[in-house]
Amino acid sequence: MGIALLGLPNLELASICVNLTLLLVFLFVVSARRIFLCAGRIRLLKDDSSASAAGARQIQRNDGEVREVCIGTDFKLSLICCFYVVFVQVLVLGFDGVGLVRHSVDWSVICLPSAQALAWFVLSFSALHCKFKLCETFPLLLRVWWFLSFVVCFCTLYVDGKGFLVEGSRNRLSHAIANLASTPALAFLCFIGFRGSTGIQVCRDSDLQEPLLEEEAGCLKVTPYSEAGLFSLATLSWLNPLLSIGAKRPLELKDIPLLAPKDRAKTNYKVLNLNWEKLKAENPSGKPSLAWAILKSFWKEAACNAVFAGLNTLVSYVGPYLISYFVDYLGGKETFPHEGYILAGIFFAAKLVETLTTRQWYLGVDILGMHVRSALTAMVYRKGLKLSSSAKQNHTSGEIVNYMAVDVQRVGDYSWYLHDIWMLPMQIILALVILYKNVGIASVATLIATIISIVITIPIAKIQEEYQDKLMASKDERMRKTSECLRNMRILKLQAWEERYRVKLEEMRGVEFKWLRRALYSQAFITFIFWSSPIFVSAVTFGTSIFLGGQLTAGGVLSALATFRILQEPLRNFPDLVSMMAQTKVSLDRISGFLQDEELQENATIAIPRGVTNTAIEIKDGVFSWDSTSPRSTLSGIQIKVEKGMRVAVCGMVGSGKSSFLSCILGEIPKISGEVKVCGSAAYVSQSAWIQSGNIEENILFGSPMEKPKYKNVIHACSLKKDFELFSHGDQTIIGDRGINLSGGQKQRVQLARALYQDADIYLLDDPFSAVDAHTGSELFKVRLTVHRVHSSLEYILTALAEKTVIFVTHQVEFLPAADLILVLKEGHIIQAGKYDDLLQAGTDFNTLVSAHHEAIEAMDIPNHSSDDSDENSCPDASVSNINNCHPDASNIDNLAKEVQEGVSAAEQKAIKEKKKAKRSRKKQLVQEEERVRGRVSMKVYLSYMAAAYKGLLIPLIIIAQALFQFLQIASNWWMAWANPQTEGDIPKVSPMVLIGVYMALAFGSSLFIFVRAVLVATFGLAAAQKLFLKMLRSVFRAPMSFFDSTPAGRILNRVSIDQSVVDLDIPFRLGGFASTTIQLIGIVGVMTEVTWQVLLLVIPMAVACLWMQKYYMASSRELVRIVSIQKSPVIHLFGESIAGAATIRGFGQEKRFMKRNLYLLDCFARPFFCSLAAIEWLCLRMELLSTFVFAFCMILLVSFPHGTIDPSMAGLAVTYGLNLNARLSRWILSFCKLENKIISIERIYQYSQIPSEAPLVIEDSCPPTSWPESGTIDLIDLKVRYKESLPVVLHGVSCNFPGGKKIGIVGRTGSGKSTLIQALFRLIEPEGGRILIDSIDISTVGLHDLRSRLSIIPQDPTLFEGTVRGNLDPLEEHSDYEIWQALDKAQLGDVIREKEQKLDAPVLENGDNWSVGQRQLVSLGRALLKQARILVLDEATASVDTATDNLIQKIIRTEFKDCTVCTIAHRIPTVIDSDLVLVLSDGRVAEFDTPARLLEDKSSMFLKLREENHPTSAAASGAAALGESRV
């Protein structure tokens, strides 16, 4: 049959081949297109009804765009020509078929008409299909087909004409006539094919040409991938427009198209979450399998991908199977005509199919991995928002970030190994079939050797899994501590602890490094074993064959070697597969455990619809506990009913359960028993302000639409208008990480504004007035709790809030008279409840609180001249004091007061405002977009990495080891090809023992060098990674505070987690892999040119083309990878931010909005990531196609040479290596591109290794005396401070003197510069002008550690670190337990800690979450008591404690720090009223500086106004009166 077919004329044979090949390509591309779209369509059909409706509207709109379709004459003629050719071919087929039946002629006569009839039938309907698709151009495949058909037809016409005219041939007359009849039609189709146009004109409405998607302001077009044609999908040419832009200029995010709906995070999350919930519902008591849920969700994509993987595997074995036939042919053994060309054609076709399927397979697994990652990340985020308090204690925010950054990434990466499980057996079976053909029964030995190679990996896999577990655990610990240090860097610097914590992190990295070293060296050993495996298998196979007396031939050996080379890949990948399975299992278990952790109780509160009842909140027999295992409940016996519109105040001592009471209303605290009913929506303001990154307006709106009048009223109500004027960008000012560029009071007022704007029914305020000054606090309080007739501008807000229910926790007694109900808590019980006057008469605990407050107020009654006159005549907003306050007096203290400059006039202030507005648009924000390097990765980055370990000495050794490996490999293969006879029966050149001995020596020698290379790469990688990490860590810890203010923690965490992981585990092997592939490629080209030097004629232009394409690709790829790195940071940042503010998000019911934001950010990350993946495949496809053509050229050369001119064995060796050329070339380019893409991680780490550092910690030549400061005198001389060059000046020439051993009070409105002054004292900000002297020593000449370690501070935001009580008080381990207990007793915490089992080793959770804010502040006091510095700064230190505790703290400070200089920033005037001197700041200038008595005597004094705002008769009483008036 085959001989009959080969007896056909060459042109007929060519025509059959062309038509059938193109038909197969057509069917393959159509099938691929259908399979690609199948999964997406099915998933999209299952979308919810709203999505379906939206889709329907979109389809209608698209249909509606087409106004008119005109079918041109060209299209009609093209169709007629196609069907005419079909008709002619069917006629010929019928004629020849009848002849075959009647005359029994050769069946091959019907081959040509059959093939052509089938092909043209498909062609005709494909052309007709263009009409229904409204294609304005014919598909490229169709046009190529028409052109080739005309060329073959024309050649056949010429040959037939010549035959008839010259020879008078009568053979196959029907074919000649049919060919002649088809020629005009084919000529017309060829012309149409060249032109391309179908002749179909589609007229569209221009007014409908607007974009449909409005998700991204920058880019509104969806990726062309979603609508790409068959040819475009196969060649990845849909990516051309993006690469074209990237070649012209650096790409930006707006250039990158949106993902198709089926690829978006929302679609994939819905599918996975649905299957996960189903599995949980099916087996509530059991443990659902996350892996099974993923498989159920994405099996269609995996199955589609499996088709490409399977086809690729099959065609990859065609070459090894046919090599022996090819060597036989070159040796003169020809079995049928044109065998050489046919074999070359089959080789070429197989390589072509292999190239196309490889790229589709790889892109498919990448997209599958992307889908899995997006879906899992969204699930982890959603779980983080719903986590219960007890579960949250098991997972710190650092760990949850790691689940997303590392574990989810690993699960997604497993898609690469998904098909290896079934492909490995398939590859082994195919290999055994080929080997059986070549070496006979010895192939059984191959199977045994292969099984041994696989089995030996089991113990290694267990070791790898153990190392991975340990590595991940140690990485989690390091990330947790790093995250904590970055969050609390301000306190570390203030306390001079940063070096200690840096050393701690280095120690943690040391533990991680130990497991990393073991993992990498074990990987090096595995590399040696598995590079040796194919050598071991081949040696066993050949040895067994010789032992059994089999005759090896050059062709058989080369076929076997090519098979081993292919088998080498899966065997080498098997340890990776086992290791990856182990790692993925660990990650899946971690994520699954997290997803199954306890969530907040859904029945914790019963939501009652608005309007059903007049009761806003009702709690019956409520028992609540943060720790369910504890025998003592946090709250118990809670019985309360709050009517709509009531004001309820909650007060009590520190740690009495006030914040927990609000938590039980929100459903945050686990409910043991009882019932909580809440009617209407709630707004929650936490005690520790939670501010999102973004501008102030976004924080206030909090997802609600902008309503200008309402917004303005809220701003006015929260006293924010003045702050906005101070900010360079007003309410558009970008807030730094955790609200770093706002003062404590500003943060609280932004929080209050956020709550007010939501217009909720119930307001839960957790001591929000503690961080604001007394004036602002009382103003805010009045605004919220009274309807004052005077302020008509606030009418809207006040009217709205008059009917709201407000529950507020407060330590400030002056706010209590205005409450309808006061709850007094003690040890988790409501011990008193009633109105202010009733509770006062009852006595007990409430009386104690009020008495403590009155004591503090009485302390202020130094000459009290406040009268109606003073109230009328003085201006509360005065920013400049009367100069008389600063005149010197006889007393020593009076002499200290300095003159302050006259305030600028109102007209001048107005002019300054106008200038500020003009400059506002030009000024930079504090937080900038993350910077990225553009263009090529600098050679400096490569050199810095290579020189990081052993000054680069290992690099040449790695290259030498790899070169020796490659040389010995080629030598071993050459030996086997040369030493064996070419055909059976020839005499061997050497004895069997010499043959196998030399082969094993060369082969195992090569594997030894691979072991050396692997060990050297691991050694180099470890040393370089450690050096880079330490350099970055030290640079970050030495960075000035301004760096942390303007850099979100997510950016730094991204570098120390993801980028560092790349440097640890990826880059050294990428570098080694690039060197390896380069040398292998040189070896392959060397072997091919040795046999056929003519290949160089193609290799050189191919290399030039490859380098050009690589350069063209890298221009876009480099930027895509950088954009990917930058887009990852917002995802991590939102994770950390949302987990920290989860209670606030839930309190406002904003979980859905934050979930949407997370999905949006995931898509922003996936867009460049998807294009980056596709770009790699785009490049590889073109590289492999080039190398395939070079290989085909080499094959044709070998076939064309006359027999005997070249050694068949050497030619076979060249083909054996040539089969690997396309894979090696694409891998070489790919390894270089991936190396450059990965090296961006080093570039990013390198950026953070060069942060300008703050001043030296210690200046050897300028160390202060050990006793410094002795007196503690502080001189401020013309001090000017700004936070950043681009930001306005905050302190304007402050000059004053704080005498040693005196108590200095620093007061002023919120934002007046009080905290800035303290930061300048600690040199967190370096002054722009002026000096600060302590005991006559300029602090700028002293090392930072020397300065900060001699000062002590109790900061505004109390900070506790995860660990123990002892570790929080004395991290430097400088004090004994006795001293620590003394400090705790003085700080009123001794009894609390003695009650705990572990005493000083009692655990402190992340952020000190298991301690109240007041208790955290007392721990800060304990630190100061331990340090016993000569200068103590209290920065709003008592803002979060009740008045009685505040009085107690002040007494402790007066006794324990009586000889120290104490600078107290306070909002409560009682706190500073007994100070020796008071400094009043206003807008960054000294307003007043004198003794409290002198300042209170002056009726126009600003201090007097502040004192009156704190006085109960002026603040609380007026508030209560106003409230009473409003209710009347």
The pLDDT score that the predictor gives to residue 511 is 92
Phi-psi region of 1427 (alpha: psi -120 to 50; beta: other; left: phi over 0): alpha
- Cα separations (Å) of 34 from 29, 31, 42, 310? 9, 5, 12, 18
Average pLDDT, stretch 316-327? 80
3 state SS for 763-816: EEEECCCCCCCHHHHHHHHHHHHCCCCCCHHHHHHHHHHHCCEEEEECCCHHHH
H or E segment at 1252?
A: none
Bigger pLDDT: 1160 or 231? 1160
Residues with Cβ within 8 Å of 322's Cβ and at least 6 positions away in sequence, in order, are 343, 346, 347
Burial-class residue 102 by CB neighbours within 10 Å (0-12, 13-18, 19+): exposed
Rounded to whole angstroms, the Cα distance separating 190 from 143 reads 7
pLDDT, tens digit, 9 for 90 and up, residues 956-994: 898 898 889 888 888 887 887 777 776 665 666 777 788
Average pLDDT, stretch 867-895? 35
Least trusted range by pLDDT, from 185-194, 321-330, 995-1004, 1455-1464: 321-330
Rounded to whole angstroms, the Cα distance separating 548 from 546 reads 5
- 768 touches 752 (CB < 8 A): yes
- 530 touches 571 (CB < 8 A): yes
Residues with Cβ within 8 Å of 1035's Cβ and at least 6 positions away in sequence, in order, are 1248, 1249, 1250, 1251, 1253
The pLDDT score that the predictor gives to residue 1439 is 62
H or E segment at 420?
A: helix 420-439
Is residue 55 predicted with pLDDT exceeding 50?
A: no
Backbone angles phi, psi at 989, to 5 degrees: -80, -25
Average pLDDT, stretch 772-792? 43
Residues forming beta bridges with residue 1304, ordered by sequence position: 1463, 1477
pLDDT, tens digit, 9 for 90 and up, residues 1188-1230: 887 787 778 777 777 666 767 777 777 777 777 766 776 777 7
Using pLDDT thresholds of 50, 70 and 90, give the confidence band for residue 164.
low
Bigger pLDDT: 1178 or 922? 1178
Bigger pLDDT: 464 or 831? 831
Using pLDDT thresholds of 50, 70 and 90, give the confidence band for residue 801.
low
The pLDDT score that the predictor gives to residue 1064 is 85
> Residue 1375 in 3-state DSSP?
coil
The pLDDT score that the predictor gives to residue 772 is 52
Is residue 216 predicted with pLDDT exceeding 60?
A: no
Cis peptide before 1269 (omega within 30 of 0): yes
> Residue 673 in 3-state DSSP?
strand
Q: Tokens for 1493, please give them.
A: 């008595």
- Which residue type occupies 761? D
Average pLDDT, stretch 534-553? 79
The pLDDT score that the predictor gives to residue 375 is 92
Alpha helices in 685-740 (DSSP H): 696-701, 708-717, 721-726
Report, in this order, helix, strand and coil percent for the chain, each rounded to 5.
Answer: 65, 10, 25
- Which residue type occupies 402? N
pTM of the predicted model, to two decimals?
0.63
- 146 touches 193 (CB < 8 A): yes
pLDDT, tens digit, 9 for 90 and up, residues 1368-1403: 888 877 788 888 888 888 877 888 888 877 778 888
The pLDDT score that the predictor gives to residue 129 is 77
Rounded to whole angstroms, the Cα distance separating 1118 from 621 reads 63
- 152 touches 18 (CB < 8 A): yes
Average pLDDT, stretch 750-765? 85
Average pLDDT, stretch 925-939? 59
Using pLDDT thresholds of 50, 70 and 90, give the confidence band for residue 692.
confident
Is residue 218 predicted with pLDDT exceeding 50?
A: no
Sequence length of the chain is 1528
Do strands 1485-1490 and 1477-1482 pair parallel, antiparallel, or not at all (unpaired)? antiparallel
Average pLDDT, stretch 589-601? 84
pLDDT, tens digit, 9 for 90 and up, residues 280-304: 888 777 788 888 898 888 888 888 8
Average pLDDT, stretch 1460-1488? 83
Of 43, 37, 570, which Cα lies nearest the Cα of 304?
37
Average pLDDT, stretch 1352-1371? 81
Q: Tokens for 123, please give them.
A: 């062609």
Average pLDDT, stretch 1257-1264? 83
- 1001 touches 578 (CB < 8 A): no
Is residue 1483 predicted with pLDDT exceeding 60?
A: yes
Is residue 220 predicted with pLDDT exceeding 70?
A: no
Of 765, 872, 1253, which Cα lies nearest the Cα of 1043?
1253
Is residue 1524 predicted with pLDDT exceeding 80?
A: no
- 398 touches 533 (CB < 8 A): no
The one-character DSSP state at 1476 is S
Rounded to whole angstroms, the Cα distance separating 1355 from 1424 reads 10
H or E segment at 1294?
A: strand 1289-1298
The pLDDT score that the predictor gives to residue 982 is 63
Average pLDDT, stretch 857-871? 43
Backbone angles phi, psi at 974, to 5 degrees: -60, -40
3 state SS for 1079-1117: HHHHHHHHHHHHHCHHHHHHHHHHHHHHHHHHHHHHHHH
How many H-runs (helices) and E-runs (strands) does the chain carry? 56, 26
Phi-psi region of 985 (alpha: psi -120 to 50; beta: other; left: phi over 0): left
Mean pLDDT taken over the chain = 76
DSSP symbols for 921-985: TTSPPSSPPPP---SSPPHHHHHHHHTTTGGGTHHHHHHHHHHHHHHHHHHHHHHHHHHS-SSTT
Is residue 900 predicted with pLDDT exceeding 70?
A: no
Of 1422, 1447, 1313, 1431, which Cα lies nearest the Cα of 1370?
1422
Average pLDDT, stretch 798-819? 73
Rounded to whole angstroms, the Cα distance separating 1182 from 635 reads 70
Return the percentage of the chain with pLDDT > 90, whole number. Answer: 1
Residues forming beta bridges with residue 204, ordered by sequence position: 66
Residues forming beta bridges with residue 805, ordered by sequence position: 762
Using pLDDT thresholds of 50, 70 and 90, give the confidence band for residue 56.
very low
The pLDDT score that the predictor gives to residue 1517 is 38
Bigger pLDDT: 1345 or 1122? 1345
Owner of token pair 């060649």: 235
Report CA dihedral (640, 642, 647, 653) to the nearest 10 degrees: 10
- 897 touches 881 (CB < 8 A): no
Q: Tokens for 937, please give them.
A: 């990765």
DSSP symbols for 1003-1028: HHHHHHHHHHHHHHHHHHHHHHHHHH
